[in-house]
Amino acid sequence: MLQSEIDILRTATISPQHHFIAGAVTEGASGARLDVLSPIDGRTLTTIADGGAEDIDRAVQAARHVYENGAWSRTTPTERKKTLLRFADLVERHALELAVLGVRDNGTEIGMAYKAEPLSAVTTIRYYAEAIDKIYGEIAPTGREVLGLVHREALGVVGVIVPWNFPLMIGAWKIAPALAAGNSVVVKPPENASLTLLRLAALASDAGLPAGVLNVVTGRGATAGEALALHMDVDVLAFTGSGAVGRRLLECSARSNLKRVYLELGGKSPNIVFNDVPDIRQAAKVSANGIFRNSGQVCVAGSRLLIQSGIYDRFMDELLSVTAKLKIGDPLNLASDIGAVSSEAQLRKNLAAVARAEQEGAKRLSGGERLHETTGGYYMAPTIFANVDPRMSLWNEEVFGPVLAVARFDDEAEAVRLANAGTYGLAAAVWTGSLSTAHRMVRAIDAGVVHVNTYGGTDVTVPLGGFKQSGFGRDKSLHALDEYTDRKTAWIAL
């Protein structure tokens, strides 16, 4: 990836965008439009359709129609694999274009965006394409007078709603297994990061996915999103986003057709460093990255740092020193470490969280302010608060910004108590030289993933999802296929 290639793509004109329904670019029923602002400079990039119930209904009907006629759902797994592999190849060929488009839309630094968005989507699509013709049904261990078979079947129409931080990566975690299993999909992208998912659907069509199998309807959550959640002909709703919206979607399911809802929600993940951490400098560097990458807009961000007393001062010195060196700026400049906050509203939310933490008595050690305001973009300094305790909002509430809460602990029992305080349970990390401590902590911490001597960096082969109020869906790995298939029993008298 060369800076010159990025610079050519960054100025490309983006025409007004429309929905992608039944294999075609489709104008919204109401004609209403939403401006798309770039967090890089606050300027208008383009517009998207402000979709509503009528558009969602058209997309769901298209999805249902093709599901029923079998053009995708009744093909063999091997045929679906071939199409999905072609799809993955096309996404890979367009990876830089997709990455730059996404960065202009949501402000993620290009190095991270390139890997975490198109390239991750390629890996995910290939993974489920390759998996689908290797999964067998079951023969039950019955008596000899019967045959009990368990078939795995697709479910029908899958609704997908994703957030703006990594729309392609998270979208692919749901779209790829749903398609591989033979379902049809309707995606409602985040209103402030819709462009790459629209492009993805067009590439799927170019790869030979039949019309109506993958549809994208843009618009706001409360209108287009809710119409999808309430639709009587959607069988599954796969969601990643905030807890408040997750609760709303469960209500929508109850009020409509009892569609299955899978929720991947927020986190306030503890990153725990013991006195016997093998390499303090490395741990501090990875921990800074674990909270500050993508301006803290990562669901598994290590936003609570717990340091054991014996190394507290040394660790904090290292952490402050690596944080001070981070370059925050234009996300399309390869020299930047961290790009822009995704929107002005998110930046305001971050600054409000800083003000509240100060009022509640936490001690600000670095950052806390907006940066580069003259560019018109939304940049924020990495922010570290010490002396944070479980009674403070910064300990409990997800900021989804570059704001780190630090506390110290004396022993393992206190670390577990602090780590598990709160309602979230998405991710955690433990830094220690002791294998026994590591294993005990993995068992003791309430989280969907516990990293040991690292932070982040898992791949498609392992599940991701929350404990407690971080949700109950599981993206990635073969387990995700369970969310998009059902088991049907055949009981045959012999």
Binding status of residue 431 toward ligand NAD by CB under 6 A: no
Of the candidates 172, 119, 179, 122, the one whose C-alpha atom is nearest the C-alpha of residue 155 is 179
**Would you call 252 a catalytic residue per the annotation?**
no
Q: Is 264 a catalytic residue?
A: yes
Region near ligand NAD per CB under 6 A, out of 13-21, 136-144, 223-231, 452-460: 223-231
Minimum distance from residue 170 beta carbon to ligand NAD (Å): 6
Q: Could you tell me the smallest distance in angstroms from the CB atom of residue 245 to ligand NAD?
A: 3
- Residue 283 to residue 454: CA distance in whole angstroms: 7
Using CB under 6 A as the criterion, what x/- string covers residues 453-482 for binding ligand NAD? -----------x-x----------------
**Contact stretch for ligand NAD (CB under 6 A) within 56-64, 137-145, 238-246, 484-492:** 238-246
User: Judged by CB under 6 A, which stretch of 134-142, 157-165, 318-326, 476-484 contacts ligand NAD?
Assistant: 157-165
Q: How big is the site for ligand NAD, counted in residues (CB under 6 A)?
A: 29
Q: Of 117, 226, 299, 398, which one is the catalytic site residue?
A: 299
| Out of 50, 105, 109, 226, the residue judged to bind ligand NAD by CB under 6 A | 226
- The interface region with ligand NAD, picked from 31-39, 210-218, 239-247, 414-422 by CB under 6 A, is 239-247
Q: Does 267 bind ligand NAD (CB under 6 A)?
A: yes
**Residue 426 touches ligand NAD, criterion: CB under 6 A:** yes
Which one from 264, 318, 398, 483 is the annotated catalytic residue? 264
**Residue 454: how many other CB atoms lie within 10 Å:** 15
Q: Tokens 């670390």 correspond to what residue?
A: 415
Gap between the Cα atoms of 254 and 256, Å rounded: 6
String of contacts with ligand NAD for each residue 298-327, x by CB under 6 A? -x----------------------------
Among 264, 318, 412, 446, binds ligand NAD (CB under 6 A): 264
Q: Amino acid letter at 16?
A: P
58/86 with CB nearer ligand NAD: 58
Residue with tokens 């359709």: 49
Given the complex with ligand NAD, which of 57 and 226 has the nearer CB atom? Answer: 226
**Smallest distance, ligand NAD to C-beta of residue 179, A:** 19
- Least distance CB 193 / ligand NAD (angstroms): 8
Q: Are 266 and 398 in contact (CB under 8 A)?
A: yes
Q: How far is the CB of 348 from ligand NAD (least distance, A)?
A: 13
Q: Which is nearer to ligand NAD, 47 or 242 (CB)?
A: 242
Tell whether residue 447 is a contact of ligand NAD (CB under 6 A). no
Catalytic residues: 264, 299
Residues that bind ligand NAD (CB under 6 A): 161-165, 170, 188, 190-191, 221-222, 225-226, 229, 240-242, 245, 248, 264-267, 299, 398, 400, 426, 464, 466
